[in-house]
């Protein structure tokens, strides 16, 4: 399966191709980064951009490789990390000159075709569907109006994610200059003699000006049945209908069955980053890496912490889960939401899941990261920080990726502790968006008794019994709304209502508890 994505600068090709490769388990081939790497190497060597022979020599001899980091793909030219350098204004102004040289394109196309020999590739560039992979299974020509593209590039230049949307604030003068460069680049790309920018005759045109990344990806997947079959999100049980856990898909396989990861690798494709056992890993590395791929010392720390905290809290507070078959009896990845009266809530929930062999990540407020020892511990325990009060797209992507790997996600929609069982905290609806994007269910949980542990102003921690309960999962297919935004809103309201219903029911069953 080869997917070719062409389009002008800033149309979102790289972002979409990278996300599509992750979702469909395709090798991501960033061809634009390859031409930019040649440009960087020429600039480093002080080569005049009119000296065609020297530029060709660089292209024929350059070594280009890709890797992964917590911040995304990394690009290396002749062993040097040029990830940031290839996105500078100077490279923007000169890359069209380099890419227009036929011999340079020949050298790059040879590398690109070699990478695609094994198939299962998503490649983006300006001549992928017309020159590099003319026989591609799916061809897309991705466009966007120049103003939208300039804004995305300006956001990118400020070190932020271009997928944050059109509302992100940027420097107006910088954006205006980028718009001028983009228009000049469009003109140069479309008028060059060697492989000018144009759509393949059989390409599908998609305008991304007002579309989110997820919407563009959905549109591409809908173009070919083979892409739908590769889509791991189609294997989520309850979103293929209202069937039970054991319901089967059309091919006779359980919806909960995950497709096996391909073993194929390209000579220039990014390999999954392996965390080092001792040191050398950033906090972002832990946020972005599967729990099962954590190094042994981190796993040991997690189990030591869970064992100690689990033993102490179980003995002292005698916590007990009700309706446990709905909770640990179902290992399907989903978003777990819960009321949040004390710090005990995440401890007993995570302990219970891990003891039953269910991987779980907890969303926590980024303010905790100000205390570095706590940030260190939370990262090893699988936490994902979120900037409250903002549209933290990085946290959302990390959360949806974790769910796609089969990990549970624990979220406290109230955002902060609500030290009263008669009040309802303000609901932060990010959990519904995450579940919607990952195509998973939402499960309400509740806890009571935790407020009796320690009275306000008292240093004593009393050995009181704590009760927890799991509710039935809620699927988006159960909702009455049909529009995406309306569904998210309805999920927020219905799921939190279930949380409070569970809490209130336990309060009635255990009078005197808080």
User: Cα(505)–Cα(91) distance, rounded to whole angstroms?
Assistant: 63
Question: CA-to-CA distance for 422 and 383, rounded, in angstroms?
Answer: 29
Annotated binding site for ATP: 7-15
d(CA 328, CA 83): 43
In which residue are the tokens 């440009």 written?
39
Q: Which long-range contacts (CB under 8 A, 24 or more apart) does 246-249 make?
A: none
Token pair in block for residue 236: 């989520």
| Element containing residue 321 per DSSP (H, E) | strand 320-322
* Contact (Cβ atoms closer than 8 angstroms) between residue 189 and residue 6: no
User: Which residues are known binding-site members?
Assistant: 7-15
Q: At a CB cut-off of 8 Å and minimum separation 6, what does 38 contact?
A: 55, 58, 59, 62, 77, 98, 104, 108
Going by C-alpha positions, the residue among 336, 357, 354, 346 that lies closest to residue 403 is 336
Of 195, 209, 183, the residue nearest 92 (C-alpha): 183
Phi, psi at 218, each rounded to 5°: -60, -40
The answer to whether 499 and 432 are in contact (CB under 8 A) is no
* Among candidate residues 318, 326, 338, the one with its CA nearest the CA of residue 465: 318
């Amino acid at each position: 399966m080869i997917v070719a994505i062409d389009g002008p600068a800033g149309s979102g090709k790289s972002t979409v191709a990278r996300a599509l490769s992750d979702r469909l388990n395709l090798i991501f081939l960033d061809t634009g980064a390859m031409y930019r790497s040649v440009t960087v190497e020429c600039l480093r060597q002080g080569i005049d951009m009119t000296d065609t022979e020297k530029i060709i020599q660089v292209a024929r001899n350059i070594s280009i490789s890709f890797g992964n980091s917590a911040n995304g793909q990394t690009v290396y030219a002749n062993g040097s990390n040029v990830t940031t350098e290839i996105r500078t204004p100077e490279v923007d102004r000169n890359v069209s000159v380099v890419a227009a040289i036929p011999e340079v394109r020949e050298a790059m196309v040879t590398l690109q075709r070699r990478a695609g020999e094994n198939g299962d590739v998503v490649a983006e560039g300006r001549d992928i569907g017309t020159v590099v992979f003319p026989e591609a299974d799916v061809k897309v020509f991705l466009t966007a109006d120049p103003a939208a593209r300039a804004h995305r590039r300006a956001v990118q230049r400020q070190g932020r994610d271009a997928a944050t949307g059109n509302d992100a604030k940027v420097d107006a003068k910088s954006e205006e200059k980028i718009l001028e460069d983009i228009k000049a680049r469009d003109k140069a790309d479309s008028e060059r003699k060697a492989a000018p920018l144009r759509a393949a005759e059989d390409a599908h045109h998609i305008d991304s000006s007002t579309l989110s990344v997820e919407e563009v990806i959905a549109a591409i997947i809908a173009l070919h049945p083979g892409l739908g079959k590769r889509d791991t999100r189609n294997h989520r049980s309850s979103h293929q209908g209202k069937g039970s856990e054991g319901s089967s898909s059309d091919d006779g396989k359980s919806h909960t069955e995950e497709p096996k990861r391909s073993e194929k690798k390209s000579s220039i494709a990014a390999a999954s980053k392996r965390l080092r056992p001792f040191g050398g890993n950033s906090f972002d590395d832990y946020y972005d890496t599967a729990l099962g791929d954590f190094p042994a010392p981190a796993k040991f720390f997690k189990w030591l912490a869970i064992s100690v905290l689990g033993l102490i809290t179980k003995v002292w507070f005698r916590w007990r889960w009700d309706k446990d078959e709905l909770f640990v009896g179902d290992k399907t990845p989903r978003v777990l939401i819960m009321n949040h009266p004390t710090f005990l809530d995440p401890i007993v929930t995570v302990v219970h899941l891990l003891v039953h062999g269910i991987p779980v990540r907890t969303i926590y407020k980024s303010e905790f990261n100000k205390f570095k020892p706590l940030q260190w511990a939370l990262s090893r325990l699988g936490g994902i920080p979120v900037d409250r009060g903002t549209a933290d797209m990085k946290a959302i992507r990390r959360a949806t990726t974790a769910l796609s790997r089969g990990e549970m996600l624990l979220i406290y929609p109230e955002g902060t502790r609500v030290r009263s069982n008669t009040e309802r905290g303000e609901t932060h609806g990010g959990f519904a968006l995450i579940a919607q994007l990952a195509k998973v269910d939402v499960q309400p949980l509740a806890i009571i008794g935790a407020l009796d542990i320690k009275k306000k102003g008292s240093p004593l921690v009393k050995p009181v019994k704590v009760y927890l309960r799991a509710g039935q999962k809620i699927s988006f297919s159960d909702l009455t709304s049909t529009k995406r935004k309306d569904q998210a809103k309805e999920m927020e309201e219905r799921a939190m209502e279930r949380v409070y219903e569970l809490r209130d029911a336990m309060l009635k069953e255990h009078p005197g508890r808080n």
